[in-house]
Amino acid sequence: MGDLDAFDLRKTLARSPQSVAVWVALAALILFGLLRYDNFGGAYNITSFLNYNSMFIVISVGMCFVIMTGGIDLSVGSVAAFTSVIAAYLSPYGIEVALPGAVLAGIGFGAINAISIIALRIPPFIATLATMLGAKGSALVISGAQTISVDWGSNFTKMGMEQALNILPWSIVVVGGVVVALWFVLEKTSLGRTVLAIGGGADASVLMGLKVNRATAFVYLLSGGCAGLAGVILASGFGAGQPLEGIGWELSAIASVVVGGTLLTGGLGSVTATVAGALLLGLVFNILNFENGRGTISFSAYWQMVIRGGFLFAVILFQARVMSGKATREAKA
């Protein structure tokens, strides 16, 4: 355990200039928007932007922990769609029941992933692909392939449509609390250091006496729970469970994680940089909407997938070059 305690996360992240670059890019994009558009810094745009992107922030943070172990979770979008339907069905009982109920449903899918990967030794890509299909099919079956309206008489829509103290949307307040808690887990606990150690080398982690299976189970349960929370925000914000939503959300989460500097091979990552990555991608689309409004360009919503793909490709290429250069330098040394 002494070797693990000596693992300094700050020094590791300091060796990832990409984690710093994403914050610089985010600040530059915000400054650009403030200077170019009249209502960019208005309360309506800020709250709408944060409220909508809170879903992508929370699933991205969950995905970050999975990728830091060297794994992947392709099921988060489908699980979010499934849990949005569960939340809509539970909405007559209020947010006090719908929120934990949907999150537990998401954790259930995370448990299936964890058991498949740890006990059955199924590769994460295959295991979570199967769960993705299962969650999507289950959402369509229990909803009859229809949107499920929420109960407007309860307080369920409070999270997605109201603000805390008339300042920030409740969705971003809740997600912000989750982000802070997970930042603490990663940076201040042995569990967080174990997660990073697994990504650096699972076999070596076992030899060090680390609780690899426990940490692996944790990250997949966490990812499922985060997807469940995203489903609650989706149903609460749109007033209905959306069984057909969530398509491509896993790619958005992966893009946010990678743009934030987390290595797809694991062993390196940052919760805060992942949040910045999610905000950066969301801000690009926000600016494109403003440009559409000015008549400068005319991009349909389908271009979002093209842009996400371009971002992901560029960042992965950058990471590959950095890792290749590092390997070359180490070989020469």
Q: What is the pLDDT along the chain (333 residues), one digit of tens a residue?
A: 444 444 444 444 444 556 677 888 888 889 998 988 888 888 888 888 999 999 999 999 999 999 999 999 999 999 999 999 999 999 999 999 999 999 999 999 999 999 999 999 999 999 999 999 999 999 999 999 899 999 998 899 888 888 887 778 889 999 999 999 999 999 999 998 999 999 888 778 877 878 889 999 999 999 999 999 999 999 999 999 999 998 889 988 998 898 888 888 888 888 999 999 999 888 888 888 887 766 666 666 667 667 767 766 776 676 666 656 555 655 565
For residue 73, the domain's CATH number is 1.10.3470
Vertex 198 angle, CA 193 and 204, to 5° = 110
330 falls within a domain: no
Q: What residue ranges in the chain does DSSP mark as E strands?
A: 148-149, 163-164, 168-169, 240-241
Cα dihedral 310, 312, 317, 323 in deg (nearest 10): 170
Q: Which domain holds residue 171?
A: 2-325
Q: What is the pLDDT of residue 275?
A: 93
The DSSP symbol for 154 reads: S
Q: What is the pLDDT of residue 11?
A: 44
Asked whether residue 331 is assigned to any structural domain, the reply reads no
* Pair 52, 160: CB distance under 8 Å: no
Within-domain flag for 112 = yes
Instruction: State how many domains the chain has.
Output: 1
* Amino acid in the structure at residue 288: L
Give 148's strand partners: 241
Residue 307 resides in a domain: yes
Q: Is residue 332 part of a domain?
A: no
Contact 41, 159 (CB under 8 A): no
- The secondary element (H helix, E strand) that includes residue 52 is helix 43-68
Exposure pattern of 240-251 as b/e (b: 16+ CB <10 Å)?
bbbbebbeebbb
Strands 168-169 and 163-164, sheet pairing: antiparallel
**In the structure encoding, which two tokens stand for residue 111, read together?**
């448990």
Query: Cα separations (Å) of 270 from 75, 257, 306?
Result: 22, 8, 25
| Inter-residue contact 232 to 80 (CB < 8 Å) | no
Residue 204 included in any domain = yes
Tokens of 93: 């009982």
List of residues 6+ apart from 180 with CB closer than 8 A:
none
Instruction: Cite the DSSP H helix spans in 154-270.
Output: 158-161, 170-188, 190-200, 202-207, 212-238, 249-259
Q: Is residue 244 part of a domain?
A: yes
DSSP notation for 80-92: HHHHHHHHHHHGG
For position 264, what pLDDT does the model report?
A: 82
pTM, two decimals, is: 0.87
